Amino acid sequence: MTQQPDCLFCGIVAGTVPSTQVDEDERTLTFMDINPGTDGHALVIPKAHARDLYDIDPGDLAACSVTAQRVAGRAVRQLGADGVNLINCAGEAAWQTVFHFHLHVVPRYRDDQARDSLRLPWTPTPGDPARIAAAADLLRAAG
């Protein structure tokens, strides 16, 4: 399993950086976010270092998704969350600040500001159909 000596999350995997761990299996580790948006906000990471979504081994990505599903279910059952956001930030422009792939498991609590103060910056508005179609054409061509 590859690790990067200067990576904060690799240090958590190695046990040299403290964390509040909540789940672990052969390929993944889950720990609480120290800057939580909501009560129960956790991070799921692969134990092997991968910089971001573009770098992660497909098997580790699948393992992180399964772990995120497990942790999200616990958030609903154990914390009383009304829903859960799974968020991945890939690259600085997408708000990635730690360059080790991670999924945010963010429990959401309807009408409970004390437990849920997270407000995402995106407000859905109708898009331009021509721009949507042009982007779809480019994405199809790459496949």
Catalytic site residues? Answer: 102
18's CB contacts (< 8 A; 6+ apart) are 12
Beta carbons of 103 and 60 less than 8 angstroms apart = no
3's CB contacts (< 8 A; 6+ apart) are 10, 13, 14, 48, 49
Judged on CB neighbours under 10 Å (0-12, 13-18, 19+), 40 is buried
Beta carbons of 107 and 33 less than 8 angstroms apart = no
Judged on CB neighbours under 10 Å (0-12, 13-18, 19+), 45 is buried
